[in-house]
């Protein structure tokens, strides 16, 4: 039964949008040397999805604002990341619609960042 619920959740268009927004943001705000990984784990009655990057990361000052609409971190890079700053806000909205949680963590510049989504299976 748990596998059926997990599979149903993972096939959701909204969940695909959450993952796509996290990946797009992660790739947009990191450099070419960084590694990006996705993790999926079953925890009791939750599915946990993690998107981790080893590159530029998120400054501690910006972490409280990372999911706000129209906010973008200033990134020291050779290219402008573009966008309008709504991808992570949309991801947060979709996670809340699924009664889940989303968090961002980073140890500081150059230390990488991890986005963690937890969604209930019921």
Model pLDDT, residue 69 = 86
State mean pLDDT over 26-37: 83
Q: Which one is predicted more confidently, 15 or 20?
A: 20
**Which residue reads 């096939």 in tokens?**
11
Q: Which one is predicted more confidently, 73 or 48?
A: 48
Select 2-120's CATH number: 3.30.565.10, 3.40.50.300, 3.40.1010.10, 3.30.70.1400.
Answer: 3.30.565.10
* CA pair distance 33, 69, nearest whole angstrom: 28
8 A C-beta contact, residue 79 and residue 93 = no
Model's pTM, two decimal places?
Answer: 0.82
State mean pLDDT over 55-73: 79
């Amino acid at each position: 039964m748990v596998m059926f619920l997990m599979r149903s959740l993972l096939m959701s268009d909204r969940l695909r949008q959450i993952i796509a927004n996290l990946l797009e943001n992660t790739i947009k705000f990191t450099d070419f040397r960084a590694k990006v990984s996705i993790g999926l784990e079953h925890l009791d009655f939750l599915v946990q999805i993690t998107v981790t990057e080893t590159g530029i990361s998120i400054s501690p000052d910006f972490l409280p604002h990372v999911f706000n609409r129209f906010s973008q971190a200033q990134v020291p890079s050779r290219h402008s990341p573009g966008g309008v700053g709504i991808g992570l806000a949309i991801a947060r909205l979709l996670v809340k619609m699924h009664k889940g949680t989303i968090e961002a963590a980073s140890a500081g510049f150059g230390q990488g960042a991890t986005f963690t989504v937890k969604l209930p299976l019921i």
